[in-house]
Amino acid sequence: MGDDPTPKRSGRAGGRAARVAARAAGPTEEEKAVRPGQSGGRYKPLTDSECRTVYDTALTLLEEYGIGGPIPEFIDVVVPAGGWLDDDDRLHFPRSLVEEIIGMAAKSFTWHGLDDNRSIEVGGDRVHFGTAGAAVSVWDHETRKHRPSDLQDVYDVARLVDTLEHVHFHVRTLVARDMVEARNLDVNTAYAVAMGTTKPMGTSFFQPEHVHEVVDMFDEMLGGQSGSFAKRPFCVANNTFVVPPLRYAEDAVRSMVAQVRTGMPINLLSAGQAGATSPAALAGSLAQALAECLSALTCVNLMNPGHPCVMGLWPFVSDLRTGAMSGGSGEEAVLNAAAAQVTNWLGLPSGVAAGMADSKMPDNQAGHEKGLTVALAGHAGANLVYESAGMLASILACSYEALVIDNDMLGAVNRTIRGIEVTPDKLSVETIRSVIHGDGHFLGQDQTLSIMQSEYIYPEVGDRLSPDDWFDAGASSVDERARLLAREVLSSHFPAHVPPDFDTRIRERFDIRLPAEELTRSSRWG
């Protein structure tokens, strides 16, 4: 035992200087601490027995009470398969039929991006964070008020999201209130989102004719050949197909038929509000939402077996004192986590809404509401966490600053989903030995330098300075820093994935209201 206990420095090629240089260059995609599609599902608010009970209740609702207001296309496929229409015009679904459909339904699908490198695989235990919503206003940082949203905002939000690392997909967040006619709204919204980002995208539709028109426009974006979008669908339709409780929304389900026929994946979106349009009891609200989504899944798969669908159980919550929606509550957090869990328990692609802060501005209240709801949804294994960035005022408003701040939050939440890898190397016995016999700290250790970007994630606008350094740097708030970053991005980032000649053809065929010059220079952001 007479050996010198002092550890010898590693003689790896390149030395510390090379490693510091590599760190400065940044990690590769494979080396990053977090990435899209990490495995969730460790948080389980329901037992397996409770999942079974909720599921059985949903099947009972479908068989005994059915869904009101079915369109002929639904009746024509469900009745021959064993369903029936009662005297109250309610379509009933036999338990055996729904179970058969669950067995044949798509368990996963590729949600393409206009950049294939940004495509995501939806299903399994893979977790992705993204946007959604139909906010009618924008939080204005300068005036500290909300203003009506417009088409320029739809495009600008898409451009900003295009640069946010931890937002994996972008479904439109805002309503273009300067678009009065429904057709112009649907076409121009789809155009603005698709031109603003190469990430997987989504939108919604008022009428089935608009679905066909938008798909024609998407074909033009992909080169002009008919059927191009169907081969590589980069847009998922958010379809709120039901008027809870248990009644179809006619225009939405007619649009759903068009989405099936054009090959557009569908987020089968049920949005009952507990205490208002679904039971105040959380379990009852969950069972109703599951029944509604299973009815749509059945109809879609009878029309086109294996059509890509997301089970969009979005059970919303009311503040029962007022009846107002409460998107940032603890009840909302646990209910959407349970929705993800029961959907994953069935083996179907899951989507929930989280991050819908009740606060009207990006403040402390918004932060804790977003962090709570998003973290529980992600840890429950939701494949797609919608509304996770940017939303305020119980989804009535969106904020550019909140999008930037929430990107930091999503990265941190994703890091918690990744968890801790317990391996011989990560247990660090040799590194500990080196420190106790050496410098007495870990700051200069090779391990510290080598994993500081693969093991750790760092905020972009979140502050970690000492109080003195923070004061010296200007004592700015996080929303001020987020505003500066948003302005920097929006004054310089103009995606050019659609060639100008393709855009010219689109403008010749469709009534595009976003000025062509906004694709290269922003009149709003400088």
Sheet with 67-68: strands ordered across? 67-68, 90-92, 84-85
The answer on pLDDT for 189 being more than 50 is yes
pLDDT at residue 194 is higher than 70: yes
Q: Is residue 431 part of a domain?
A: no
Number of domains in the chain: 1
Residues 6+ apart with CB under 8 A from 54: 46, 283, 286, 287, 290, 338, 342
| Residue 505 domain flag | yes
- Please compute the mean of the pLDDT values over residues 323-337 and round it to a whole number: 96
Burial (CB count within 10 angstroms: exposed 0-12, middle 13-18, buried 19+), residue 142: exposed
State the Cα–Cα distance between residues 327 and 376, nearest whole angstrom.
Answer: 14
115 occurs within a structural domain: yes
- The whole-model pTM stands at 0.94
Per-residue model confidence as pLDDT tens digits over 291-310 = 999 999 999 999 999 999 99
DSSP 8-class letter at 387? T
CA–CA separation, 389 and 373 (whole Å): 11
Give the chain's count of helices (H) and strands (E): 19, 21
At residue 29, the pLDDT reads: 80
CA angle 213, 177, 133 (to 5 degrees): 75
pLDDT tens track for 207-259: 999 999 999 999 999 999 999 999 999 999 999 999 999 999 999 999 999 99
pLDDT (tens digit per residue) in 385-401: 999 999 999 999 999 99
User: In this predicted structure, which of 242-246, 407-411, 437-441, 493-497 has the lowest mean pLDDT?
Assistant: 437-441
Strands of 298-400 (E only): list them: 309-313, 316-319, 324-325, 351-353, 384-386, 391-392, 397-398
Quickly state the pLDDT bin for 19 (edges 50, 70, 90): very low
Averaged over 14-37, what is the pLDDT?
Answer: 70
pLDDT beyond 60 at 3:
no
pLDDT of 493:
98
286 neighbors 335 (Cβ within 8 angstroms)? yes
Could you tell me the residue range of the domain that residue 321 belongs to?
33-419+458-526
Q: In this predicted structure, what is the pLDDT of residue 153? A: 98
Residue 449: which of 20, 13, 33 has the closest Cα? 20
Residue 55 counted as domain residue: yes
Task: Specify the CATH number for the domain of residue 262.
Answer: 3.20.20.480
Instruction: Give just the sign of the alpha carbon dihedral 210, 128, 31, 402.
Output: positive
- In this prediction, residue 1 carries a pLDDT of 39
Greater confidence (439 vs 482) lies with 482
Q: How confident is the model at residue 20 (pLDDT cuts 50, 70, 90)?
A: low
Q: Cα separation of 301 and 365, whole Å?
A: 42
The mean-pLDDT minimum among 9-23, 270-284, 458-472 falls in 9-23
pLDDT of residue 21: 59
Contact (CB, 8 A) for 314 and 270: yes
Res 125 pLDDT > 70: yes
Proportion of the chain above pLDDT 90, given as a percent: 94
The mean pLDDT of the chain is: 95
pLDDT of 15 > 70? The answer is: no
Answer whether residue 7 is part of any domain: no
Amino acid 4: pLDDT: 43
Backbone region of residue 184 per phi and psi (left: phi > 0; alpha: psi in -120 to 50; beta: other values) = alpha
Query: What is the reported pLDDT for 25?
Result: 63
Domain membership flag for residue 16: no
